[in-house]
Amino acid sequence: MDFLAEILRDALDYVGGSGAELVGVLARTIWIAIAATAGAIVMGVPLGVMLGRTRFRGRTLVMTLVNTAMALPPVLVGLVLLVLVWPTGPLGNLDILFTPIVMVIAQVLLATPIILGLTAAAVGALPAPAVEFVASMQVGVLTRFRVYVTEVWPQLLAAVATGFGRVIAEVGAVLLVGGNIAGETRVLTTAIVQETRQARFGAALALGAVLLLVALITNATLTWLQVKGERDG
Amino acid sequence: MVRGHSAPIPADLPVPPLGRLVVFGPNGAGKSTLLRHEFATRTDVAYLPQHTWMLRGPAHRTLTIGLGRMERARAEEWARQLGVADTLDRRGRSLSGGEQKRVNLARVLASNAKVLLLDEPLAPIDRVDRGLVIRSIAEAAEGRVAVVVAHDRDVVAMLATEVAVLVDGVVLQQGPVAEVMHAPASEDIARVIGVENVLVGAISDVTDAMCTVACGPVSISARRSDSLDLGDRVAVMFGAETVLVSLDDATTSAQNHWGGTVDSIVRLGSLVQLTVNVGVPVIAVITPAAQDALEVEQGTAVFVSVKATAVRAVERA
């Protein structure tokens, strides 16, 4: 009990005593997660709509690959990216190793298959009358895309929430390519690892609670929008 | 275009350049498949699918999304004409089935396409609004052609300038309404278009364009085609509305005049359907007023008359 009480006291002390550092880590975590989710939306939604609606030879194979990519091991993604952007690697001249940029890229790679796959599933499951109506509209591809997106809006928000959840909670890839540099690439998850390694469990738990709070606020907002979308159908 | 349909892809439908062609047939005949095929293979067409769909948001969005300024104005005008203008600000999916169909239809009618393909445009429309929709389709089809799928004979009567009878994905007969509805080319077509009396027999006499057909104990005078001759097995067909019912054996110009008893009386909407056994069952429709005047009930002895020119003999399929 004493041990747990001590951890709790340490956690409160950490929150109270590391204001500026915690805010910096929190802000970095949020902007990297938002940037990565935005990137995954930009790539995943159009491709998801296309995959959901287009019938072509090999579609099942592509779907299988996308579904598999939804479960990509973050450490593997981080490792491959690390090799690519290593100073002597094929993309070494970009000089982005241990920067937030490469952390965003890593998380985009992890979140895109999730948003793509869930979007494709939602658009592919649209009822036949909806699909026939869209075909009968005889409008341009952009309008069709807009219609499909709005028709699956609640499911799309669920996909975005899932993608955001994946990136904000991810540690393996960002630790490898970001390096957990204080003040530069340290985010909540890597900070938790750092504190845990140094047996500062109270601080780690405090950071975990903040991470959970961010996830809660984000998902509460997205879920509210999702439910509103379903209700307003 | 839409997967999962097992009906065979039909051959192209001969669509006239102008007018209103109603594709008529029973459920499962392949009418919708035919229309989808026409939509997929033709250019310059506008298409109203059988099943309505409203996009998320206000009905106005479904009516006008993706349309240019002129088309948008026309769609709003058609919505007004179809009586749904005041529903456009409401959530599309909260509209009734009939209102949704009319919003979908207004969008299609606003198109500049030369061919309008309309799949069951009257299916969920209330009886009171049917005239409105029929008039709108007729107006929109002026100067171009509307191909309208229907399984209701009333739609053919109210709208069609030409009718195509479709069974099992095949157009069995196509032509002007009067020709097809009053002179179906076969027993199958007669059944499809709802000619209530279809009797089978053999030709016992032939004179010019007419013939006499022995159907069990009854001889029936009928029009015949040149290909039919003495002894041929034929189906004779006439609509219930061509049968005259009387209580006395008065002299009439009708060549077919038989006495019998009323076997059954069924109320069909605003009309009454009688089945009179004259040796074979003959179906007639009369008004409730006529029923009251004749005081007919089950078992009443009556006479039925049918003009020979209203009866058509066709080769038995």
CATH number, residue A37:
1.10.3720.10
Residue B141 and residue B17 in contact, taking contact as beta carbons nearer than 8 Å: no
Flag whether A199 is in a domain.
yes
Residue of B nearest to A136 (CA): B47
Among the CATH numbers 2.60.40.2480, 3.40.50.2300, 2.40.40.20, 2.40.50.100, which is that of B195-315?
A: 2.40.50.100
Each residue of A16-64: pLDDT tens digit? Answer: 777 778 899 999 999 999 999 999 999 999 999 999 999 999 999 999 9
CA A70/CA B104 separation, integer angstroms: 39
Please tell me which of the candidates A133, A140, A233 has its beta carbon nearest to residue B56: A233
Residues of B at the A interface, defined by Cβ within 8 angstroms: 1-4, 36, 39, 46-49, 51-53, 55-57, 65-67, 91, 93, 104, 107-108, 111
- The answer to whether residue B10 scores a pLDDT higher than 70 is no
**What average pLDDT score do residues A132-155 get?**
94
Residues of B whose CB is below 8 A from A233: 56, 91, 93
Q: Contact at 8 Å (CB) between B20 and B141?
A: yes
**Whether B49 and A153 lie within 8 Å, measured CB to CB:** no
Axis crossing angle, helix A201-232 with helix A19-53, rounded to the nearest 10: 40
Domain boundaries defined on chain B:
19-190, 195-315
Rounded to the nearest 10 degrees, the angle between the axes of helix A19-53 and helix A188-197 is 130
Q: How far apart are CA B286 and CA A63, in angstroms?
A: 63
Half-sphere exposure of A51 (CA within 13 A, CB side): 25
ipTM of the prediction greater than 0.90, yes or no: no
Rounded CA separation A7/A32 (Å): 29
Q: Mean pLDDT of all residues in chain B?
A: 88
Q: Which residues of B touch A140 (CB under 8 A)?
A: 66
Which tokens in the block code for residue B214? 């022995």
Task: Record the tokens describing residue B250, joined without a space.
Answer: 């008065």
Name the residue range of residue A85's domain: 2-123+152-232
In contact, A190 and A175? CB cutoff 8 Å: yes
Looking at residue A191, its pLDDT comes to 93
Q: Which residue of B has its CA nearest to A138?
A: B46
- Inter-chain contact A138–B91, Cβ cutoff 8 Å? no
Is A141 inside any structural domain?
A: no
Q: How confident is the model at residue B316 (pLDDT cuts 50, 70, 90)?
A: low
Q: Which of B4, B53, B107 sits opposite A129 (nearest CB)?
A: B53
Evaluate whether B151 touches B24 at the Cβ level (below 8 Å). Answer: yes
Report yes or no: A232 at the B interface, CB cutoff 8 Å.
yes
Residues of A whose CB is below 8 A from B56: 150-151, 153, 229, 232-233
pLDDT at position B11, please? 59
Nearest to A147 among B55, B91, B108 (CB): B55
Q: Which two tokens stand for residue B7?
A: 């009906």
Query: Per residue in A181-232, pLDDT tens?
Result: 999 999 999 999 999 999 889 889 989 999 999 999 998 999 898 888 887 7
Report CB contact under 8 Å: A132, B52: no
Q: How far is B114 from chain A (nearest CA, A)?
A: 14
What CA–CA distance (Å, rounded) separates B116 from B140? 9
| A10 inside domain | yes
Between A123-132, B78-87, B122-131, the lowest mean confidence (pLDDT) is in B122-131
Distance, in angstroms, between B88 CA and closest chain A CA? 15
Q: How confident is the model at residue A10, as a pLDDT?
A: 79
What percent of chain B clears pLDDT 70, i.e. is strictly above it? 95
- Provide mean pLDDT across the span B250-279: 89
pLDDT given for residue B182 in this prediction? 67
What pLDDT is stored for residue A1 in this prediction? Answer: 63
Q: What would you measure as the largest C-alpha separation in chain A, in angstroms?
A: 71
Q: Please give the average per-residue pLDDT across A92-113, as a whole number.
A: 97
Look at residue B12 in the predicted model and tell me its pLDDT.
67
Residue A146 lies in a domain: no
Total number of domains constituting chain A: 1
| Architecture (CATH level 2) of domain B19-190 | 3-Layer(aba) Sandwich (3.40)
Calculate mean pLDDT across residues B32-50: 93
Among candidates B2, B52, B91 on the partner chain, residue whose Cβ is nearest the Cβ of A128:
B2
Residue A132 lies in a domain: no
Name residue B221's beta-bridge partners: B212
DSSP B151: S
CB atoms within 10 A of CB B294: 16
Q: What is the pLDDT of residue B196?
A: 82
pLDDT at residue B4 is higher than 60: no
Q: How confident is the model at residue B2 (pLDDT cuts 50, 70, 90)?
A: very low
Residues of A in contact with B48 (CB under 8 A): 136
With CA atoms as reference, the chain B residue closest to A147 would be B55
Tokens of A63: 């779907």
Judged by DSSP in three states, A53 sits in: helix
- Decide if B57 and A150 are in contact by the 8 Å CB cutoff: yes
Calpha distance B139→A156 (Å, rounded) = 42
Q: Is the Cβ pair B66, A139 closer than 8 Å?
A: yes
DSSP 8-state symbol, B86? G
Suggest the residue from A54, A56, A134, A138 to mutate for an interface test with chain B (most B CBs closer than 10 A). A138
CA B147 to chain centre: 13
CA of B8 vs chain A CAs: smallest distance (Å): 19
Q: Which of B5, B50, B52, B55 to mutate to test the interface with A (most CBs of A within 10 A)?
A: B55
The answer to whether the Cβ–Cβ distance between B49 and A129 falls below 8 Å is yes
